[in-house]
Amino acid sequence: MNTLEFIRRRISLLQNIGDGIAIIPTSPELIRNRDSHYPYRFDSYFYYLTGFKEPEAVLVLIAGIEPQSILFCRDKDMEREIWDGFRYGADAAKAEFGFEQAYSISQLDALMPKLLANQSKLFFSLGADAGWDARVTGWLNQVKAQVRAGVSAPDDIADVRKLVDEMRLYKSPDELNLMRRSANIAAAAHNRAMQKVRAGKMEYEIEAEFLHEFYRKGAQSPAYTSIVAGGANACTLHYNANNCELKDGDLLLIDAGCELDGYASDITRTFPVNGKFSAAQKDVYELVLAAQAAAIAQVNPSNHWNAPHDAALDILAQGFIDLKLCQGSKEAVLESGAYRQFYMHRTGHWLGLDVHDAGEYKDKHGDWRMLQAGMTLTVEPGCYIRPADNVPQHLWNIGIRIEDDVLVTQHGCEVLTASAVKAVADIENLMKA
C-alpha cells in the first residue's frame, strides 16, 4: 500500500485528536518455546497508521499547532541482521514511511516523559496490555513529579482505538484491492478443496490444501485457524482439531480464509464428501443458502447492521418449522428463540485487518448503525443439528454454514468471495470434474 495513504491516516487521526498526544505500540514478539517464536504479526492499529511491520516499535502522535508523527523503532544492527534479516533503523524508517521524527526504541523511556510534559490529553489503549500500562504510568509519574517546576501531566486518558476504529470501518480503494485479492485466494482454495476431497482422507489433508493454496498465491498466513469439520464435527462451532477421517455420506464444513498484506478473508463452504448431497443434506443446505441470499439482499446503505441477520432468521425460522425441527408459528419460534437450538450465532461481523474487524455495531443512541458504502462484513448463516429427542433422526449431525465476504456499495453490495462455488449443482459439477 502507498506510503501516502498511511500519512493521510495519521493526519486525519491528528485532526481528530485536536490537542494531545497518542501512544500506539505494535505487538510484542511471542516466544513459542525456548528460542522459537510464533510467527510475528504486527498490531493492526499500529500497522494501519504506519505501514511498518517490524516488532519493537511505537508510534507517537503529537496533535496541536505543529502536529507530528514520531516513530520509535529498532536500530540497524549488522550482527542481528545476519541472523534475523533486514531492519530499517530510525533514519531509513523516517524517510521511507514519512514520519516527522524517528528515534531508536532504546530512547523511548528517556524521551516519553519529555513528550508527555504539558500535554492536555493522552490517547492510549489503557487496559489492553499490563506491561504497556505500567510503562506509561511510570512515564506519567515522572511528569507529575515535576509539578513544582511548573510541568503538568495529561489529566485525561482516552482510548485511541475508538478513534481509529471509526476510520478502519470504511475501506479505501487500496484496502479494497487487497481485500479482493485476499478473497480471491481464499475462494480458489475452497474450490480446490472441493476437488481434492475423497472419503478416507483426513481433515488435516484438506487443511493442507488450503495452506498450499494460500502460500502459493502470496498470502502470508491463514487469517485464523482453519476449521475443517467432517460430519458431526461441523456441529462444534469452533472445531479445529482437524484430525478425523472423512466419511462417505457425510458433509464437510470448511471455514478458512487467508491474510494478505494484513487483510483477512473469511469463507465457509459446506459440501458432501462423496460429491453428491443426500436429500436430507440438500434440504438443509438449500435452506441455509436461501437464508444467506436473503441476508445478502439486505446489505445496502438504506439498511442498518442487523437487517441481514433479521432476514436470515426469518427464512431459517420458517425452514426449521418445515423440517420439523421447530414447532408452532414462525413468529412464535422467533419470539421464543427456539431457533437457537440450531442457529446460535449471529449472521456476520466486520472484516478487514482483523477477521473480526474493528468498529462499533451500534450508534451513539444504542441503535444498530446504518450500513454505509466502503464497509466490509461477512454474511454467514448456518444450521447445526445435534442429536436430540426433539429432532428427526434423519437430520442428526448435519452442520452447515455458508459464509461470504461482502462490501457495501453506493446502491447495494458486492460479494467479494463470489468465485467460491456454492449452488448445489455447481458444487456437484465441480466435484465431478
Rounded to an integer, what distance in angstroms lies between the CA atom of residue 370 and that of residue 402? 24
Residues 6+ apart with CB under 8 A from 396: 385, 386, 387
Angle at 302 between CA 300 and CA 305, to 5 degrees: 70
Catalytic, 411? Answer no
Contact 197, 271 (CB under 8 A): yes
Q: Residue 424 Cβ, how far from ligand GLY at the closest point, in Å?
A: 22
Known catalytic residue: 238?
A: yes
Residue type, 214: F
Q: Which is nearer to ligand GLY, 17 or 227 (CB)?
A: 227
**Shortest Å distance, C-beta 266 to ligand GLY:** 5
Pairing of strands 227-230, 36-37: unpaired
With CB under 6 A, what is the number of residues at the site for ligand GLY?
Answer: 7
Is 263 a binder of ligand GLY (CB under 6 A)? no
| DSSP character at residue 324 | T
How far is the C-alpha of 111 from the C-alpha of 101, rounded, in Å?
12
Task: Please report whether residue 270 would count as binding Mn ion according to CB under 5 A.
Answer: no
Residue 42 lies near ligand GLY (rule: CB under 6 A): no
The binder of Mn ion chosen from 209, 250, 261, 266 (CB under 5 A): 266
**Mask: binding to ligand GLY, 336-355, rule CB under 6 A, as x and -?**
-------------x-----x
Q: Which of residues 203, 207, 209, 266 is near ligand GLY by CB under 6 A?
A: 266
**Residue labelled with grid coordinates 505500567:** 134
Catalytic, 259? Answer no
How many other CB atoms sit within 10 Å of the CB of residue 162? Answer: 13
Tell me how far, at minimum, the Cβ of 354 lies from Mn ion, in Å: 11
Question: Is residue 245 among the annotated active site residues?
Answer: no
**Binding to ligand GLY in span 184-243, by CB under 6 A:** 224
Is 209 near Mn ion (CB under 5 A)? no
47 classed as catalytic: no
Does the annotation count 212 as an active-site position? Answer: no
Closest to ligand GLY by CB, 323 or 416: 416
Q: b or e along 391-429 (b: 16 or more beta carbons within 10 Å of the residue's beta carbon)?
A: beeebebbbbbbbbbbbbeeebbeebbeebbbebeebbe
| Contact flag: residue 254 with ligand GLY (CB under 6 A) | no
Which amino acid type is present at position 258?
C
The helix (H) or strand (E) run that includes residue 174 is: helix 173-196
Q: Is 356 known to be catalytic? A: yes
| Cell matching residue 7 | 500519512
Catalytic site residue from 304, 356, 369, 386? 356
Catalytic residue selected from 32, 34, 148, 238: 238
d(CA 173, CA 188): 22
Q: Which stretch binds Mn ion (CB under 5 A): 206-214, 294-302, 310-318, 377-385?
A: 377-385
Phi, psi of 177 (to 5 degrees): -60, -45
Active site residue 37: no
Find the catalytic residue in 74, 168, 190, 401. 401
Distance CA 348, CA 420 (A): 18
- Catalytic entry in 259, 261, 380, 428: 380
Per-residue x/- track, 389-418, Mn ion (CB under 5 A): --------------x---------------
Q: What number of chain residues touch Mn ion (CB under 5 A)?
A: 4
277 binds ligand GLY (CB under 6 A): no
The CA distance from 87 to 75, in Å, is: 7
Hey, what's the cell of 369? Answer: 448503525
The binding site for ligand GLY (CB under 6 A) comprises 224, 255, 266, 349, 355, 380, 403
The binding site for Mn ion (CB under 5 A) comprises 255, 266, 378, 403
> What amino acid positions are annotated as catalytic residues?
35, 238, 255, 266, 345, 349, 356, 380, 384, 401, 403
